[in-house]
Amino acid sequence: MNKYLKYTGLAFQMGATIGVLTYLGVYLDKRYALQQPWFTIALALLAIIGSTVKLIIDLNKNEDPD
């Protein structure tokens, strides 16, 4: 059961990371009055890639050798 709680926490962490960095990108795009949402795109992609890499590392680190 504890294993499932850990993976649920990872899902919330991924969602929070993606949400915060995307919000920051929207803020920066508005702050600098850009015509294209470059900060939003860049930070959202960075968050998705970073969260996916962290997920893969955590899953590989915690594999059971059964």
Per-residue pLDDT of the chain (66 residues; tens, 9 = 90+): 677 777 788 889 999 999 999 999 999 999 999 999 999 999 999 999 999 999 999 888 866 655
Tell me the residue type at 10. Answer: L
CA distance 24 to 40: 7
Please report, for the chain, the start and end positions of each structural domain, with discontinuous segments joined by +: 14-61
Alpha helices in 1-66 (DSSP H): 2-31, 38-61
Report pTM. 0.83
Burial 10-43 (b: 16+ CB within 10 A, else e): eeeebeebbeebbeebeebbeeeeeeebebbeeb
CA distance 10 to 16: 10
